[in-house]
A and B are shown apart, each in its own frame.
Chain A
Amino acid sequence: GESVGLHLPTLSVQEGDNSIINCAYSNSASDYFIWYKQESGKGPQFIIDIRSNMDKRQGQRVTVLLNKTVKHLSLQIAATQPGDSAVYFCAENYGGNQFYFGTGTSLTVIP
Chain B
Amino acid sequence: DAMVIQNPRYQVTQFGKPVTLSCSQTLNHNVMYWYQQKSSQAPKLLFHYYDKDFNNEADTPDNFQSRRPNTSFCFLDIRSPGLGDAAMYLCATRSTQGRETQYFGPGTRLLVL
Q: Is B106 in contact with A43, judged by CB distance below 8 angstroms?
A: yes
**Which A residues lie at the B interface, using CB under 8 A?**
1, 32, 34, 36, 41-46, 49, 89, 91, 93, 97-104
**Which B residues lie at the A interface, using CB under 8 A?**
4, 31, 33, 35, 40-45, 48, 50, 55, 57, 59, 90, 92, 94, 96, 100-107
Q: With contacts A44-B90, A49-B101 known, is A98 near B48, CB below 8 A?
A: yes
Q: With contacts A101-B42, A101-B43 known, is A45 near B104, CB below 8 A?
A: yes
**A103 nearest CB across to chain B (Å):** 6
A93 to B102, CA, bound (A): 11
Q: Is A34 in contact with B102, judged by CB distance below 8 angstroms?
A: yes
A98 to B49, CA, bound (A): 10
Tell me the total A-B contact number using a CB cutoff of 8 A. 58
Query: Nearest A residue to B106 by beta-carbon distance?
Result: A43
User: Can you list 23 A-B contacts (CB < 8 A)?
Assistant: A1-B44, A1-B45, A1-B59, A32-B100, A34-B102, A36-B104, A41-B106, A41-B107, A42-B106, A43-B92, A43-B105, A43-B106, A44-B90, A89-B42, A97-B31, A97-B48, A97-B50, A97-B55, A97-B94, A97-B96, A98-B55, A99-B33, A101-B43
Query: Nearest B residue to A102 by beta-carbon distance?
Result: B42
The 4 closest A-B pairs by CB, nearest first: A43-B104, A101-B42, A44-B104, A46-B101
Query: Nearest A residue to B100 by beta-carbon distance?
Result: A32
Q: Which residues of B contact A34 (CB under 8 A)?
A: 101-102
**B103 nearest CB across to chain A (Å):** 7
